Amino acid sequence: MGKFIKIAILSVFLFCLGIATSLQIKSTIAVNSAKAQAVIKLEQLKINYENEKKLRARLEQENKMLEDQKLQYMKKVADLKDDDEIKKQMAYLEQLKFKAGVSDVKGPGITITLDDAELKSPELLSNYTIDPNELIIHDTYILDTLNELKKAGAQAISVNNERIVSISEVICAGTTILINKKRFAVPYEIKAIGDPDTLDSVYRNSQVFAVMLSRGIRVDIKKSREIVIPKFNDARYNLNKLSEVLEVIKNETE
């Protein structure tokens, strides 16, 4: 009888061991299979990423080559044609390109940096009468600044290196602002090419400047002998409509 019990116990033990071993094998297979799939997916993502990088590099190279060819053709036309009218039209085209923002420009001007007020935490605002919403940069501050600079004779303007033209958009998006459909957070760096003294004087005497200072908005203004403003870059832009695209926002007083 004792021998039978021992055999029964051994049989149960071997049965449980078999089940545990089977579960362990299945678990190991499942883990290895998941790892293999993850490795395959990661490798495929790497391949796709490298292919995209190569494609982008090739397209950028082709675009640069086409731009260089266009400039060469335009120069050849200007060199081969000694007609005064053609020269006049070429000069007019360059003027349109400048106004439309399709070329990088540089010159003297000012840089205005706008940042939220330092007094923003609820603890510090407990005894403060101004609405916290008034202590942050809004799209209206930037738009009013652009208009003031335009009125002061700014020839080219950018915000965070985004060239501002007539089809540019400056839209509030929560705590950020969309500029030419690109999202930016504070600080906002506004560059303007023109007479530095005039730009500085007009802006410092503007209403938007006074309002921001009264609300603690940080405004830093610097004059520069040379400012570089990049060309306008947007897929929606149509080069065939150069004459329709004028710089910044039209001065309402004109």
Question: How many residues make up the chain in this entry?
Answer: 254
Cα separation of 109 and 144, whole Å? 18
The predicted structure's pLDDT at residue 241: 45
Helix boundaries (H) for the chain: 2-80, 84-100, 139-151, 196-204, 207-214
Under a CB-based contact definition with an 8 Å cutoff, are residues 208 and 128 in contact? no
Domains of the chain are 91-244 (3.30.70.1880)
Give the whole-number percent of the chain exceeding pLDDT 90. Answer: 35
Beta 182-184 vs 188-193: how paired, if at all?
unpaired
Pick the more confident residue, 35 or 219.
Answer: 219
Pick the more confident residue, 247 or 214.
Answer: 214
Cα separation of 209 and 222, whole Å? 14
Under a CB-based contact definition with an 8 Å cutoff, are residues 152 and 112 in contact? no
List of residues 6+ apart from 111 with CB closer than 8 A: 189, 190, 191, 192, 221, 222, 224, 227
List of residues 6+ apart from 156 with CB closer than 8 A: 98, 101, 105, 107, 163, 192, 193, 229, 247
Among the ranges given (59-63, 229-233, 244-248), the one the predictor scored with the smallest mean pLDDT? 244-248
The pTM score is: 0.57
